A and B are shown apart, each in its own frame.
Chain A
């Protein structure tokens, strides 16, 4: 597999491997993966459970470090950055959407969306403007002041999407974003993400088994046993 490197690549992996130590055994989660993803793409990583999808997303999200190779995100070689610099880098450039929504339970929907903007040191008025606009985009303005435990699964994921996108990141990583949702809600969430991606020109990378999601992907990366098996362009550009 020859990755297509270009200056507009949001993500570039070169011979990346990741080995975990479980007891006395070394477990290879990723094995020499090289790939690149240009900006403004709706990409998906597919593979069986334990194939290394989540590990790959963790490396792209700069929340884990490879044991070999280089990871470049938004033009920056992130493998050499310190923990604090990585945290700041994530705050500026990367949005996360998790399978279990992972909203801060003591914050309202509005406050959850506002949180990433606070980390960027934005003023209260800017935060308010942006957070409300984002909540409006995901259709949750009326529930802005509800706490996560007062929202349905679909609503929680909409808040998570708003939180991921409110800072207008270059890259959004979503790990099984529809896994905990029924198919109708999942479809609406996918449509929402696709719509926002097109509008904000943000690069989305998913790890998922969801056929609906695969159907919407611009490009699909298939991995097995930690190795990149196939890279193909999606059916619905």
Chain B
């Protein structure tokens, strides 16, 4: 074995230029796979982080909400949500896995700014949250993507009727000026055409909104107010005032133009009025995504044991875009892997075929000395494997060095679905599975590529091989 390895090693060095070219092809394959793989992993981590920061890992809904509830959130509220949250929080299996457990209320309606200078209204997609829970959720970043939206304190549990708008929503409602937003064009200076009826309705809406929210607080100085109109669970129209603390850009324009986030009591008041306050969902953000299957299974058991009319959805189900991006990049990665595999395959087949041709006489000699066909096959297979292994190691080292250079270059990019640029990173060093997988894959391809010439060498007739010049 020792001598066999010596022969293999020296033959690789003997055809130095050819071995370098073949090893370079393997190294290039390894480099491409690891860099793209590392970039892909970072995209996946970024997407997962973004989704989990906003939606948590798992959400418990009223049965049927996922398919039918978004059109009428009020009808699919969870009544005793505090009891269910207590049940989840106190469960010995779930408790250690949970980072944040928080209720949310979705609401659809019309948002309007009837401040006098602007008369603008627009449909909105709103979400009522517990601000402190939301801030803790936004800090979730186990992959160190540095995509953490630092809690800005614009919303606090102590302040009610306060919320944030999507940047587009703020623009449409004419709040660029009052919110002092940069790169936010104000509406053209067109005279507000107000007939008596419109003016009366606007005044009534304002009165209603102020009446319903007067118990909590009035307008805050320096902060504009808007009115939110929605149908309650009973079907009656309801209106509340929301003090706009700022904007939060959303990555998708449709969402950015419609998004309103508010504190949970306000959303509940808008949807349920003075009736029993429910929530649309109970969000579980876990410490680790790897716990998700176990957490989901345990939740399902609890729901079944207590015969609760609830269903569980994970963040990928709630946001199909996540799955689409993962599948797209996985497909591209597979395609690159196949192309690189083919390049390595042909390079090694070519090199090993030439080696067999050049060493035909040597093969005849060693066969005459008593080496079995298997021994000849082993020799050339080992040669292909060693070239593949050395090339893949060099490629891995280069990929790690390049990834570190990219990660320290301070580059940024805006990933799909994001509104703000984030650091451009290539996670190679942090993905030992990817490095090992690429190395094993390339060595396997190189070895398999050597199989054909190795078999040809092993099948050579000893007499013909000895006659070969």
A interface, CB within 8 angstroms of B: 58, 61, 63-64, 83-84, 87-92, 96, 98, 100, 102-107, 111, 114-116, 118-119, 163
- How far apart are A163's CB and chain B's nearest CB, in angstroms? 8
**What 0/1 readout, one digit per residue, does chain B (10-29) give for beta carbons within 8 Å of chain A?**
11001000000000000000
Q: A63 vs B373: C-alpha distance in the bound complex, in angstroms?
A: 13
Contact with B370, one of A98, A105, A107, A119 (Cβ below 8 angstroms): A119
Q: Does B192 contact A (CB under 8 A)?
A: no
Q: Which of B98-106, B144-152, B358-366 binds A?
A: B358-366
Contact B371 A87 (CB under 8 A): yes
A-B contact pairs, 10 of them (CB 8 A): A63-B463, A83-B373, A89-B370, A91-B369, A91-B370, A104-B365, A107-B6, A111-B6, A115-B366, A119-B371
**What 0/1 readout, one digit per residue, does chain B (351-384) give for beta carbons within 8 Å of chain A?**
0000000000110111111111110000000000
Considering only CB atoms, which chain A residue lies closest to B370 in the complex? A91
Q: Does B332 contact A (CB under 8 A)?
A: no
Q: A106 vs B462: C-alpha distance in the bound complex, in angstroms?
A: 20
Q: A63 vs B365: C-alpha distance in the bound complex, in angstroms?
A: 10
Contact B3 A63 (CB under 8 A): no
Contact A111 B3 (CB under 8 A): yes
Contact B7 A102 (CB under 8 A): no
Q: Specify which of B14, B366, B373, B374 lies most central, judged by the most chain A CB atoms within 10 Å of its CB.
A: B366
Interface of B is mostly: helix
Considering only CB atoms, which chain B residue lies closest to A106 in the complex? B10
Q: A92 vs B361: C-alpha distance in the bound complex, in angstroms?
A: 21
Contact A84 B369 (CB under 8 A): no
Chain B residues with a Cβ closer than 8 Å to the other chain, count: 23
Contact with A102, one of B14, B374, B466 (Cβ below 8 angstroms): B466
Return chain B residues, CB-CB under 8 Å to A100. Answer: 361
Instruction: Known contacts A63-B462, A102-B466; decide if A114 and B3 are in contact (CB<8 Å).
Output: yes
Residues in B436-469 with C-beta less than 8 Å from chain A: 461-463, 466
Considering only CB atoms, which chain B residue lies closest to A85 in the complex? B372
Contact A96 B368 (CB under 8 A): yes
B interface, CB within 8 angstroms of A: 3, 6-7, 10-11, 14, 361-362, 364-374, 461-463, 466
Q: A89 vs B372: C-alpha distance in the bound complex, in angstroms?
A: 11
Contact with A98, one of B7, B11, B365 (Cβ below 8 angstroms): B365
Return chain A residues, CB-CB under 8 Å to B368. Answer: 61, 63, 90, 96
Return chain B residues, CB-CB under 8 Å to A104. Answer: 7, 362, 365-366
Q: Specify which of B10, B364, B368, B373 lies most central, judged by the most chain A CB atoms within 10 Å of its CB.
A: B368
Contact A116 B466 (CB under 8 A): no
Return chain A residues, CB-CB under 8 Å to B463. Answer: 58, 63-64
Return chain B residues, CB-CB under 8 Å to A102. Answer: 361-362, 364-365, 466
List the 4 closest pairs (A to B, CB-CB), nearest first: A91-B370, A106-B10, A63-B462, A102-B365
- How far apart are A148's CB and chain B's nearest CB, in angstroms? 11
Q: A92 vs B369: C-alpha distance in the bound complex, in angstroms?
A: 9
Sample of 11 more A-B contacts, CB < 8 Å, known A61-B368, A63-B463, A96-B369: A58-B463, A63-B368, A90-B368, A91-B371, A96-B368, A102-B361, A105-B14, A107-B3, A107-B7, A111-B3, A115-B369
Contact A106 B466 (CB under 8 A): no
Q: A91 vs B372: C-alpha distance in the bound complex, in angstroms?
A: 10
Return chain A residues, CB-CB under 8 Å to B11. Answer: 106
Q: A111 vs B9: C-alpha distance in the bound complex, in angstroms?
A: 14
Considering only CB atoms, which chain B residue lies closest to A101 in the complex? B365
Contact A106 B7 (CB under 8 A): yes
Contact A92 B7 (CB under 8 A): no
Return chain A residues, CB-CB under 8 Å to B371. Answer: 87, 91, 119
